[in-house]
Amino acid sequence: MLTAIEQVDEAFKRIGRIDKVIRAMASTLEVSAKEKAARLGDAHDSNSPLYGTPVVIKDNICTLEGKTTCASAILRDFASPYAADVVERLEKAGAIIVGKTNLDEFAMGSTTENSGLWPTRNPWNPDYVPGGSSGGSAAAVASRMVAHALGSDTGGSIRQPASFCGVCGLKPTYGRVSRYGLVAFASSLDQIGPIATNARDLADMLGVIAGHDARDSTCVDEPVPDYAGMLTEPFGKPRIGVAAEYFGDGVHPETRKAVEAAIETLKSLGAEVSEVHLPHTPYVIACYYLICTAEASSNLARFDGVRYGHRTDAPKDYFDVYSKSRAEGFGAEVKRRIMLGTFALSSGYYDQFYNKALRVRTLIKRDFDQAFQKCDAILSPTTPTPAFKFGEKSQNPLEMYLTDIYNCAANLAGIPALSIPCGHALDGLPIGLQLMGRHFDEGRLLQIAHHYQQATDFHEKRPPICA
List 80, 110, 115, 133, catalytic entry: 133
Q: With respect to CATH, is domain 4-279+365-466 assigned 3.90.1300.10?
A: yes
Taking the C-alpha atoms of residue 323 and residue 326, their distance in angstroms, rounded to an integer, is 5
Q: What is residue 44's predicted lDDT score, i.e. its pLDDT?
A: 59
Q: Where are the domains of the chain?
A: 4-279+365-466
Q: Residue 42: what pLDDT?
A: 66
Roughly what angle, to the nearest 10 degrees, separates helices 135-142 and 4-22?
A: 110
What pLDDT, in 10s, does the model give residues 68-119?
A: 999 999 999 999 999 999 999 999 999 999 999 999 999 999 999 999 999 9
- pLDDT for residue 45: 57
Collapsing DSSP to helix, strand or coil, 213 comes out as: coil
Predicted confidence at residue 110, as pLDDT, reads 96
The one-character DSSP state at 353 is I
pLDDT tens per residue, range 25-44: 999 999 999 999 999 876 65
Catalytic residue among 137, 143, 152, 157: 157
Segment holding 167, helix H or strand E = none
DSSP one-letter string for 131-195: -SSSHHHHHHHHTTS-SEEEEE-SSSTTHHHHHHHT-EEEEPPTTTB--TTBPPSSTTT--EEEE
Find all residues with CB under 8 Å of 48, minimum gap 6, and list them: 93, 94, 95, 208
Q: Which residues pair with 21 in a beta bridge?
A: none
Distance CA 247, CA 213 (A): 39
132 vs 128: CA distance, rounded Å: 12
Asked if 380 is an active-site residue, the reply is: no
* pLDDT by 10s per residue, the chain, length 467: 789 999 999 999 999 999 999 999 999 999 999 999 999 876 655 788 999 999 999 999 999 999 999 999 999 999 999 999 999 999 999 999 999 999 999 999 999 999 999 999 999 999 999 999 999 999 999 999 999 999 999 999 999 999 999 999 999 999 999 999 999 999 999 999 999 999 999 999 999 999 999 999 999 999 999 999 999 999 999 999 999 999 988 999 999 999 999 999 999 999 999 999 999 999 999 999 999 999 999 999 999 999 889 999 988 888 889 999 999 999 999 999 999 999 999 988 888 899 999 999 999 999 999 999 999 999 999 999 999 999 999 888 888 888 889 999 999 999 999 999 999 999 999 999 999 999 999 999 999 999 999 999 999 999 999 87
Predicted local confidence at residue 249, as pLDDT: 86
Residues 224, 207 contacting (CB under 8 angstroms): yes
Element (H, E) at 332: helix 332-345
Q: Are 96 and 28 spatial neighbours (Cβ–Cβ below 8 Å)?
A: no
96, 173 contact by CB (below 8 A): no
The answer to whether 179 and 218 have CB atoms below 8 angstroms apart is: yes
* Active-site residue, 157 included: yes
DSSP 223: P
Which residue of the set 58, 100, 324, 393 is catalytic? Answer: 58
Per-residue pLDDT, 46: 72
Q: Is 267 a catalytic residue?
A: no
- The whole-angstrom separation of Cα 140 and Cα 116 is 18
Burial 111-136 (b: 16+ CB within 10 A, else e): bbbbbbbebbbbbbbbebbbbbbbbb
Q: Longest Cα pair distance anywhere in the chain, in angstroms? A: 70
The side-by-side arrangement of strands in the sheet containing 417-424 is: 25-28, 96-101, 54-58, 148-152, 192-196, 168-171, 417-424, 430-437, 377-381, 239-243, 272-276
Residue 15 neighbours by CB distance under 10 Å? 23
pLDDT tens digits along 326-373: 999 999 999 999 999 999 999 888 888 999 999 999 999 999 999 999
Give the β-pairing of 192-196 and 168-171: antiparallel
Q: What pLDDT does 403 receive?
A: 86
Residues 110, 103: Cα–Cα separation, whole Å: 9
